Structures are given as C-alpha cells and as structure tokens.
Structure 1
C-alpha cells in the first residue's frame, strides 16, 4: 500500500517540485492561485508514509501586531488537509467543514510545520486532523472534512 500511496501522492495534478533552496525536494501545487499568492506552502512524504507540510514566515504573512495572520494559518491548514489526503483522494475534492483553535503566535522568520492524519476515509468523505507548530511549540490545531467530487462532463451539466 505504501507504494500505491507514494504513487498517488506524486501524481496529483499541478504538482511542482522545488529543485533548490530551503524546500528543495518538497512539493507544492501551482493550480490554486490564492494558495500560491499566500504561500508558498510546501509538503513532502516522509519515509514512514506520513505527510509533512511547511512554510517560512515572511513579512507578507503578518498582521498589524507582527504575528502570522490568522487567515494565513487557516489557509495553510486547508492546504495541509489536501496534502494529508493526497495519497488517497484519487481525484478532485472540496473542503466541506473546517474547525480550528489558535494556540500561540508565530513571527517573521519562523518555520511553521504541520503534521496530521486521515482519521477516516469513506467513499465520499475524508476526515482529517492536524497540528501546526514552530519547533516544538504548538501554534494551531485543526480538523476538517473533504468531499470527493466527480469531474463534470458536458453531458452531466444541466441546462437551465
């Protein structure tokens, strides 16, 4: 199963692999212009099959108090849901629920990392949870549900 998960993880549409810098070998998706503008956010599969996500805090991620904006953490966590689900998603999906708790602040220059897991994967819904940290300091806990969606073909789209 690990090889199948690795293959599914490596073959998601719009995937870009960094070839240099701090995140060389990490992956990101280029298909979501909002995430690309807000990030860059990165993910990789560890040797044990778990998924790790990360981003380096830049000035553009900060709120007026000099901490990472809550909306940025929420956007990153949503990105993480899809990274955690990538080995099993097998197609497009949408977030249908998202819950979070702010635990601590992050500042410019810090590395924010996320780990998480799929808690249940059904035929149409995938349930996940995760934690954002800076070093060993917990910043943000989250959970969410992704709905698998079928791609619409011209024959399945109704006319008004």
Structure 2
C-alpha cells in the first residue's frame, strides 16, 4: 500500500488509465483487496451513464471453463458502487441486499460489461439495478441484479 494507508484505513484512489487496452477508462487500484485480487475492474462514462467492464481471464473461470458465478457477483458488487457513485458521495456504504439472476456466461478473452441505474436514493438507502452482459457476444445478458446500499456514515 502507498500513501500512508494501513489495513484499518483502507481508502481508494481513482486512477485514469492513459495507455493500453483500457485507455480512457478508470479504476481503483488498492481500493478493495478482494476486488484487486478478482479484477482489475474498470469504468467510464458513456452516453451519460457509468459503464463497468473487465476482460475474462483464466482466473475467472470455474471447472467447466465458464465464468464462475462468484466472479460475476463480485463484479456486480463493484458495479453497484460505481453506478451509485453520486448517490453515496461523501458517505461510506455497504451492500445490504443483493438479488441476481444468472442468465448467461463468458469465456476466457470475452469482454464483460455492466450498466445500470439508481432506482431511488434515500437518506440512508440507495436502490440500484443493473445488467451484466457479454459484450464479445453482442451484448448477450449474463446477469440481471438489484441491490440496496446502506449508507453507514460520513467518509
């Protein structure tokens, strides 16, 4: 970790990617230890909406060489916080509920994307829904989800 961070005060820093395949995207290196292990996951603004994405690797596959459901859910959880970014700005938040339906998968090399919306942003709860798709297969749906984020205090 850098910037004087320790495990009890783990904060993230938005980093813009300026080179390579992900130029024009942003990510949070060192933002979440588990997501760092599972990702990297990226996001960008597209037509006024935040879109999240990552490229499927062998580490994301299950024994049948399809994307592991736990990987899809981890990505969905990352997406929740990106989609709800403005609604939770200045607050800490946790995932309180999560509902998802697996409807497709991805293979090694596929581009996986997600977009969604804040359904309602209350004082302490933010309701979000999204759709994860396999962009390499023409946007074939992989998971639809809805979740509630609970604001837990000021950042």
TM class by shorter chain equals 0.7 to 0.9
Where does 1:53-64 land on structure 2 (aligned, <5 Å)?
53-64=52-63
Residues 15-66 of structure 1: CA deviation (Å, up to 9, x unaligned): 12112111112111221011011000011122x3211000000111111100
> Gapped runs of 5+ residues in structure 2?
1-10
What stretches of structure 1 of length at least 5 have no aligned partner? 1-11, 153-160
Does the CA contact (< 8 Å) of 2:12 and 2:32 recur in 1?
A: no
State the match for 2:82 in structure 1: 83
User: What's the TM-score, normalizing by structure 1?
Assistant: 0.83
1:131 is aligned to 2:107: no
1:151 Cα deviation (Å)?
A: 4.2
The residue matched to 1:22 in structure 2 has which SS? helix
Match of 2:148 in 1: 145
- Runs of 4+ more than 4 Å apart: none
1:88 CA drift (Å): 2.2
Report SS of the residue matched to 1:118. Answer: strand
CA displacement, residues 76-109 of structure 1 (integer Å, 9 cap, x when unaligned)? 0000000001122112111000010110121000
Matches within 5 A, 1:52-131: 52-90=51-89, 91-131=91-131
- Corresponding residue number in structure 2 for 1:14: 13
Partner of 1:4 in structure 2?
none
Q: Distance in 1 between matches of 2:12 and 2:151?
A: 15
Task: Report how far residue 122 of structure 1 moved.
Answer: 0.3
Give the structure with the larger helix fraction. 1
Structure with the largest fraction of strand: 2
CA distance in 1, matches of 2:22, 2:71: 19
Which residue of structure 1 lines up, in the alignment, with residue 26 of structure 2? Answer: 27
Pick which of 111-120 and 27-36 moved more: 27-36
Q: Larger Cα Rg: Structure 1 or Structure 2?
A: 1
What's the CA shift for 1:138? 0.6
User: How many positions carry a matched residue from both structures?
Assistant: 140
